[in-house]
């Protein structure tokens, strides 16, 4: 059976609506009373797996799901062996460097050598500062990274910004953008090439749905 890995959290609602538009109904995942992590669509032809956003590429890479929906930021951070098929255009955010608005840093190059940067995206952050040739210590965190500069633990953060509200309400400003991110449709490379479970048909329908929406 064709299996799709869906991300919990920010991207779930849009992902489910997109799949609904091509005839696959996994809306039970949106029901707060439902604790199921695996649902078979009413047609009996496809199942959905509800996984953490960061884990979507893992299920797809290992072939437990032929398809998945995940943010470009996660692909940049994890560099999984998956085929990137479609930009789904929702879930816009950007990966940015931010610092205290009250401080003097206005560019990443203003940061002191051996300064500290807190981030959930340690690989993206490390690669970015390496490319700038700035020796920076990366402090890995799992969330609320804005507290890094607020508490004085780090000079800066590398984190996702969407509306900018979290930065504003915590007295931080963006000083650089690493990249922009939107949700992507990904596939297991072998499954894609061999058209396992006829995934090509679903991909075509999703592509058409995307074209119709622009």
Asked if 181 interacts with ligand ATP (CB under 6 A), we say yes
Interacting residues with ligand PRP between 100 and 129 (CB under 6 A): 120
Please, what sign has the CA dihedral across residues 3, 8, 12, 16?
A: positive
Nearest CB to ligand PRP, comparing residues 41 and 159: 159
206 makes contact with ligand ATP (CB under 6 A): no
Cβ-closest position to ligand ATP: 71
Binding mask 107-136 for ligand ATP (x = CB under 6 A): ------------------------------
- Smaller CB separation from ligand PRP, 22 or 160: 160
- By CB under 6 A, the residues from 126 to 145 that bind ligand PRP are 143-144
Q: Which range of residues in 2-10, 33-41, 110-118, 144-152 is near ligand ATP by CB under 6 A? A: 2-10
Would you tell me which residues interact with ligand ATP (CB under 6 A)? 7, 9-11, 52-54, 71, 73-74, 91, 93, 160, 162, 181
Would you tell me which residues interact with ligand PRP (CB under 6 A)? 120, 143-144, 159-166
């Amino acid at each position: 059976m064709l299996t799709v890995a869906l991300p919990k959290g920010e991207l779930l609602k849009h992902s489910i609506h997109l799949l609904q538009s091509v005839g696959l109904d996994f809306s039970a995942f949106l029901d707060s009373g439902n604790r199921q992590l695996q649902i078979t669509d009413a047609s009996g032809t496809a199942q959905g797996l509800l996984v953490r956003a960061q884990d979507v590429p893992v299920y797809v890479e290992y072939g437990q799901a032929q398809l998945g929906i995940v943010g470009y930021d996660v692909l940049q951070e994890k560099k999984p062996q998956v085929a990137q098929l479609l930009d789904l255009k929702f879930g816009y955010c950007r990966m940015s460097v931010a610092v205290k608005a009250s401080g003097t840093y206005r560019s990443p190059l203003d940061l002191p050598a051996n300064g500290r940067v807190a981030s959930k995206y340690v690989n993206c952050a490390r690669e970015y500062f390496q490319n700038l040739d700035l020796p920076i210590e990366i402090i890995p965190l799992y969330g609320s990274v804005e507290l890094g500069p607020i508490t004085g633990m780090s000079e800066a953060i590398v984190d996702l910004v969407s509306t900018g509200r979290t930065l504003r309400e915590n007295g931080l400003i963006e000083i650089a953008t690493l990249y922009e991110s939107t949700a992507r449709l990904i596939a297991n490379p072998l499954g894609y090439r061999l058209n396992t479970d006829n995934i090509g048909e679903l991909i075509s329908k999703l592509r058409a749905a995307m074209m119709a929406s622009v």
